[in-house]
Amino acid sequence: MTILLAFLAALLFACGTWLLMQRRLSRIIIGVGLLGHGANLLLVTAGGPGGLAPLIGADDNFGRYSDPLPQALALTAIVITFGVTAFLLALGFRSWQITRDDAVEDDVEDRFVALLNQEQSAAQEAAESSSDAPDESQSWEGS
Amino acid sequence: MIVALLALHCVVGISAVALHHRLSRWAFAVAAVPAFVTLVSLATRLRAVLDGEPIVEEFSWVPQLGLSFVLRVDAFAALMVLLVSGIGLLVCVYAVGYFSHPKPGTGRLAGLLTLFAGAMLGVVVSDHLLAMFVFWELTTVTSYLLIGNDDWSPEARDAALMAILITGAGGLAMLAGLVIVGQAAGTYQISELATAAPLSGSAVTVGVICILIGAFTKSAQVPFSGWLPGAMVAPTPISAYLHAATMVKAGVFLMARLAPALADIGPWRPLVLGVGAATMVVGGWRALRQHDLKLLLAHGTVSQLGFLTMLVGAGAYDVAQAGAVLLLAHGAFKAALFMVVGIVDHQTGTRDVRRLHGFGRGWTPVMVVGVVAAASMAGLPPLLGFIAKEKALDAATGDEQFMLVAIVAGSILTVAYSGRFVLGLLGRLGEPDADVVSRDAPVPGWGLVAPSVVLTVFTVVAGLAPVIVDRFIRASTTSLYADSHPANVKLWAGFNTALVLSGCIIAAGAVLVWRHATVSAAQDRFHTAIAWVPSNDRAFWGAMSVLARSAKHVTATVQNGSLPLYLMVILAVAALAPLGPAVSELDTWPAIVGDVPVHIPLAAVIAAGAIGAAVVRRRIAAALLLGAVGYAMAGFYVVQGAPDLALTQFAIETLATVLFVLVLRFLPRQFEAGRAAVTVPIRLAVSVAVGVSVFVLALVASAARRDVSQDQISGEMLARSVPDGKGANVVNVILVDFRGLDTMGEITVLVIAALGAVALARATRGSAPVENDHAGFARLPVVVASSRVLFPSIVVLSLYFLFAGHNQPGGGFVGGLTAGAAISLRYVAGGVTSVRESFRFKPWTILGGGMVLSIGTALVPLLSGRSLLEHSSIERDVVVLGTVKATTALPFDVGVYLVVIGLVLMAFEAFGDDVAPDSGSGSVGSAAP
C-alpha cells in the first residue's frame, strides 16, 4: 500500500459518499459504483504489493505470486456490485414509471409518525386542560 | 416422572385452550386431571423425599456450556407442589360451579390455568437458575393472559398490562442478577449454590439487588404492589389460585431458596426486612380501608406476602420454618376466603360490604368457612394461622428486634382487617339505605362450597393436631438449611413471650375492630392529608404516559423521514468512530508511489473519473465517467497481477454501461436542482471525514499486515491449489472449491437481485403499456450483420473462459460476463426479441437452472457421506485431446456461468425495449438520449 493508492481509495470513498447523500437515485447508484471500486481497491492492495498472476506453474516460489485470496474476494465484490446496480437501476426505472422522477422522497411512514405525534400532543394538551387523565377512574386505592 | 408431569400440564392446557368452545366450563374438570395426577405421584414418593432423598432428574442440553435441565424435588419443593396442585385441584372443582353461566372465553381460562400450573411447577422443581427463570417468565405470561382473558373489558386489559409490565421488568432485572450470581458462584445449580464458597464483591451485590427486584415485583412488595389489587379484575377462581395461593408465592419461594446462600451478602437482609416490613404494614393499612371484600383480601395478601418475605428472606432456619408454616397456612385460608367472596359475588352480584346485610339460613356453612378462615388469617388459636404467627414471633424474639416490631404492627392490622372482613361478610357493615340483596340470596350449591370447606377443615385439623404437618415442615426447613435442627411444630409451645405478644396483638386488633368507625374516620383524615402523594396506579400510568410521549417525541425528532439525513448520520458515525484508535496506531508512513510508476496515470484517470462523476450534472455523463473509473480499475488489476479481476471488470464495465444507458434514457437529461436533504457544507464535511477515515484505515491495515510473521491462509491456498483443488488458477480454485460456500451465497444474491429487478421494472408491463417517448429503436444493418458473426464467436470465447478457467484466467463469472457482453450486442442489433431468440430457454429458467446446478453439485458429496462441496476429480485419456482432467468443480462453475448469463438476460428483460415495429431503418433514436 502506497500513499498514492490509499489516497485514491479515500477519494473514491469520499466521492461515493458525496453522491450517496443526494436525493436523485441515479446519482446514488453512481455513488454505490464508486464505493464499490474503492472497496475493491482496498481489498486488492491489502494483499500486499503486486506480483505474478496466481497461476501455479509460472514460478515455484510461492512468495512471488500476488495474493489470490483478496482477488477472489474482490471478484465476488465486483459481480455483486453489478447485481446491486441492476437492482437499483430497476428501482430508479420503477420510480420514473410512477412519479416521472427518480427522487428519493422522505419516508412517508416516518413523516406520518412525526405528524401524528404533533397532532396527538396538541389534542392531549387540549384534553388535559379540560379534564383529568382517564386512568383516574379505575384507581384501586379508594383514596 | 417430573418431566412427564410438566408435559402433561402442557398438553392438557393446550388442548383445553384449543377445545375451549366445546368444553366451556367443563374444561375446568379437564384441568383438574393434571393437578390430581401430580398430587398422586407426589404422594407415592413423598416418604423418600421427606427422608431427605430428593427426586432428581437431569437432562443434558448443551454440556459444553454447562447447560442442563435439572429437576429436583426436595421437601421444600414438595411443599410448594402440594400448594400448587392441591389448591389447583380444589380451585378447578370450585370453578366448575362458579362458572355456571359461562361466557365465550371461560373454557380458555381453564386451559391457561393448567398451563400456568405447569409453569409454576416448573419454577418450583427446576434446579437450574436459568431453567427456573424460563418457567418464571411463563408464569408471568400466563398470568397476563388470565387477567386479561376478558379482552373486551378495558379494565381487564389495563390490569393485565400493568401486571406484565411490572413483573416482566422485574423478571428482566432478575435475569441479569441470576447471571451475575451464577457466574460468580461458578454454578447455576440452585442445590450447589448453597454449598458453594461464600460469594462477595460489588458485582454480586448488584446481582443480589437485581434478583430481589425480580422477587419483589412477583410477590407484590412495596413499591411494586400496585398490580396485585388491579389483577382482581380476573374471575375469582383465578384470583384465588394465582394471586393468593401460588404465583405471588414465586418470589417468596425464590427468596427462601436463595437466602441460605445469599442472605449474608450486603444489601440482602436490609432490603428483605425493610421492604417486607413496609409491605406488611402498608398492605394491612390499605386492606382496612376497602369496601370491596375481594380488594380487602387482595391488600391483605400483599400484607401477608410482606410477612412471608421477612420470614423466608431473613436467612435463619427458625424464622424460615415459621415461613414454611405460614406458606401452608396462608395458602389454605386465603384460597378459602377468596372462594367465599366468589360465592357471595356469584349469588348476590356484589362484593361491597355496604350492600351486604346478612344471609339466610342455608348460608351457614359458607359463613362458618369465612369466619374460621378469617380467624386463621388473624392468627387466632387453635388454627394453623395461629401456629405460624406464634412460630414467627418466637423466632423473632431473639435478636430480630426490627422484624419483631414489624410483625407485631402488621399483625395488629391483620387482626383488624380480618375482623372487618367478618363484619362485612356477616352484614354488620351494610348501610341502611342500600338495596338489600343478600338476605334472600339463593343458597349456593355444594359444588361451590365444598372446596372451601376442605381447606377450612385442613386449617382446623392442622391447627389442632399440627403433628400431621410437623414432619413436612421440618423436612422443608432442613432441605433449605442442611445442618439445622428445627423444632417441632406445636399448637402449645408453652407460656412464652410469643404467647404474650399474640395476646396483645389480638387484643389491640379487637379494639380496632370494635372502634372501626373511628378508625376509618381517622384513616380518611390521614389520606386526605397525604392526597398529594400519587397512588400506585396514578404513578404507574403517569410513568407509562410519559414514556409513550417521550418515545413519540424522540421518534419524531430523530426519525424525520429524510433518508439522506439518516444515511449521513450513519456514515458520519462509521467514519469518525474508528478514526481515533486508527490514528493512534499510525506510526510509519509508506512510500508515496512505490516502485510501480504506472500507478500514476491509472490513479489520475480514476481520480478524474470519480470527481467528474460526482460533480457533472448530466446523468449519462456521470454513468460514462463511472465506466471510465471501472476501465482504469481493470488496468490497475492487470498491473497488480490479477488477470481474473481485470477480465471480470472489463466485462462488467461494458455490461453496466449498456444497462445505465438503457435506464437513464428514460430519465431527464440533467439532475434537477431539487431541494437538498443535507446542506452542501455538511455533505462535504461528511464526505471528507469518510475519505480521511478510509485513508487512515488503509494505511493502518496494510501496516498491520506487515506485523504478521507469515500469511498463513494465502500461502496455504497457493500450496494446496494444485494438489487439492486440481487447478492452477488459484483465484478460481478459491471461488469454486476453497470458498465455494461463499460463491453459493453470492449467486443466490445475484438471483435475488435479478428477480427483484425484473419484478420492479415489469410491474406494470402486463396491464398497461409503459408510457414513454422512446418507443423502441431502429435497426442498423451494419450492427445486425456484424452481430451475426460476432455473437457466436464471443459465446465460444466465453465457453473457453469457463472451461479453461480452472487453470487459466477465466472461470464461471468471467465466462458468464463475456457471454453477457455478446448478449448486449444482440440487443443493440435487434432489441429484446433478438435477445430472447438467441437462447432457447427463458431467462428465469437459465437463472434458476444455474443455481440448481451449483447447489446440486455442492450437495452431491453429502449423499456419499462426504462434506458439502467436497470435489472429486477424474483423469482420463481421450483420443484426440490427450489426457483430460475434470473435477466436479466444473459443473459448479457451469452453474455460476448460467446464473450470470441469466442475470444479464433478466436485466435486458427488465429494461430492454423491442425494435419499433414500423422502423425498419432510421436513426438510432432512443439508444442515446
The answer on pLDDT for B38 being more than 50 is yes
Among A56, A87, A106, beta carbon nearest to B561 = A106
Residue B452's pLDDT is 93
Cβ <8 Å between B542 and A133? yes
Exposure string over A49-71, b if 16+ CB within 10 A, otherwise e: ebbebbbbeeeeebeebbbbbbb
Alpha-carbon span B625 to B648, nearest angstrom: 18
- For the segment B58-77, the average pLDDT, to the nearest whole number, is 84
Residue B164's pLDDT is 92
The answer on pLDDT for A137 being more than 50 is no
Q: How many CB atoms lie within 10 A of CB B319?
A: 23
pLDDT tens digits along B399-416? 778 889 999 999 999 999
Query: Strand B67-73 to strand B873-878: parallel, antiparallel, or no bridges (unpaired)?
Result: unpaired
Select from A65, A40, A26, A8 the least CA-distant residue to B672: A26
8 Å CB contact between B118 and B16: no
8 Å CB contact between B166 and B221: no
Q: Does A94 touch chain B (CB under 8 A)?
A: yes
Structural element, H or E, at residue B57: strand B55-62
Which residue is closest to A54 within chain B, CA to CA? B730
Name the one residue in this structure whose C-alpha cell is 384513616.
Answer: B523
Chain B residues whose CB is inside 8 A of the A79 CB are: 648, 652, 746, 750, 813, 817, 900
pLDDT-derived band at B150, boundaries 50, 70, 90: confident
Chain A residues whose CB is inside 8 A of the B762 CB are: none
Q: If you average pLDDT over each of B221-230, B270-279, B740-749, which comes out highest? A: B270-279
The mean of the pLDDT values for chain A is 80
For B626, list phi and psi in degrees, rounded to 5.
Answer: -60, -40
pLDDT-derived band at B895, boundaries 50, 70, 90: very high
Among A23, A24, A140, beta carbon nearest to B229 = A140
Alpha-carbon span B634 to B643, nearest angstrom: 9
Structural element, H or E, at residue B71: strand B67-73
Share above pLDDT 90 across residues of chain B, in percent, rounded to a whole number: 36
Cβ <8 Å between B731 and A138? no
Q: Does A92 touch chain B (CB under 8 A)?
A: yes
Coil, strand or helix at B873 = strand
Alpha-carbon span A52 to A65, nearest angstrom: 4
Residue B775's pLDDT is 46
8 Å CB contact between B655 and B824: yes
Residue B920's pLDDT is 40
Residue B673's pLDDT is 65
Among A53, A67, A140, beta carbon nearest to B295 = A140
8 Å CB contact between B559 and A106: no
pLDDT tens digits along A22-32? 888 888 999 99
| Higher-pLDDT residue of B830, B454 | B454
Alpha-carbon span B847 to B235, nearest angstrom: 61
Which of B588, B667, B738, B903 is the mutation pick for testing A, counting most A CBs within 10 A?
B667
Cβ <8 Å between A92 and B649? no
| Higher-pLDDT residue of B146, B868 | B146
Alpha-carbon span B725 to A72, nearest angstrom: 15
Q: How many CB atoms lie within 10 A of CB B862?
A: 12
The answer on pLDDT for B593 being more than 80 is no
Residue A138's pLDDT is 41
pLDDT tens digits along B677-719? 677 888 899 999 999 999 998 888 877 766 655 566 777 888 8
Residue A139's pLDDT is 38
Q: Does A50 touch chain B (CB under 8 A)?
A: yes
Q: Does A127 touch chain B (CB under 8 A)?
A: no
At position B280, the amino acid (one-letter code) is M
pLDDT tens digits along B561-585? 788 888 888 999 988 888 888 888 8
Burial class (CB in 10 A: 0-12, 13-18, 19+), B750: buried
Cβ <8 Å between B630 and A33? yes
- Rounded to a whole number, what is the distance in Å from the CA of A105 to chain B's nearest CA? 7
Cβ <8 Å between A85 and B684? no
The mean of the pLDDT values for chain B is 86
pLDDT tens digits along B896-906? 999 999 988 98
Cell numbers at B908, concatenated: 435486458
- For the segment B192-218, the average pLDDT, to the nearest whole number, is 87
Q: Does A20 touch chain B (CB under 8 A)?
A: yes
The answer on pLDDT for B884 being more than 70 is no
Question: What DSSP designation does B735 have?
Answer: I
* Angle at alpha carbon of residue B554, lines to B553 and B560, rounded to 5°: 90
Question: What DSSP designation does B189 have?
Answer: B
pLDDT-derived band at A131, boundaries 50, 70, 90: low
Residue B429's pLDDT is 84
Question: What DSSP designation does B491 have?
Answer: S
pLDDT-derived band at B889, boundaries 50, 70, 90: confident
- For the segment B112-124, the average pLDDT, to the nearest whole number, is 94
Name the one residue in this structure whose C-alpha cell is 437529461.
Answer: B669
The answer on pLDDT for B921 being more than 60 is no
* String of DSSP letters for B633-700: HHHHHHHHT-HHHHHHHHHHHHHHHHHHHHHHTTS-SB------SS-HHHHHHHHHHHHHHHHHHHHH
Residue B536's pLDDT is 77
* Angle at alpha carbon of residue B56, lines to B50 and B62, rounded to 5°: 160
Provide the ipTM.
0.84
Residue B773's pLDDT is 47
Cβ <8 Å between A34 and B295? no
pLDDT-derived band at B529, boundaries 50, 70, 90: confident
- For the segment B728-741, the average pLDDT, to the nearest whole number, is 87
Residue A141's pLDDT is 39
Among B158, B613, B655, beta carbon nearest to A30 = B613
Q: If you average pLDDT over each of A41-55, B66-80, B163-177, B750-764, which comes out highest? A: B163-177
| Higher-pLDDT residue of A81, B919 | A81
Which residue is closest to A138 within chain B, CA to CA? B155
Question: What DSSP designation does B241 have?
Answer: I
The answer on pLDDT for B727 being more than 90 is no
8 Å CB contact between B812 and B894: yes
Among A6, A86, A111, beta carbon nearest to B757 = A86
Select from B784, B853, B46 the least CA-distant residue to B479: B46
- Rounded to a whole number, what is the distance in Å from the CA of B406 to chain A's nearest CA? 23
The answer on pLDDT for B504 being more than 70 is yes
Alpha-carbon span B879 to B694, nearest angstrom: 56
Which of B541, B658, B688, B694 is the mutation pick for testing A, counting most A CBs within 10 A?
B694
Which of A3, A21, A37, A65 is the mutation pick for testing B, counting most B CBs within 10 A?
A21
| Higher-pLDDT residue of B547, A1 | B547
Cβ <8 Å between B699 and A1? yes
- For the segment B529-553, the average pLDDT, to the nearest whole number, is 84
Among A14, A79, A140, beta carbon nearest to B648 = A79
Coil, strand or helix at B554 = helix
Residue B177's pLDDT is 94
Residue B726's pLDDT is 81
Q: Does A85 touch chain B (CB under 8 A)?
A: yes
At position B706, the amino acid (one-letter code) is R
Q: Where are the alpha helices (DSSP H) in B762-809?
A: 781-804
pLDDT-derived band at B242, boundaries 50, 70, 90: confident
- Rounded to a whole number, what is the distance in Å from the CA of A139 to chain B's nearest CA? 6
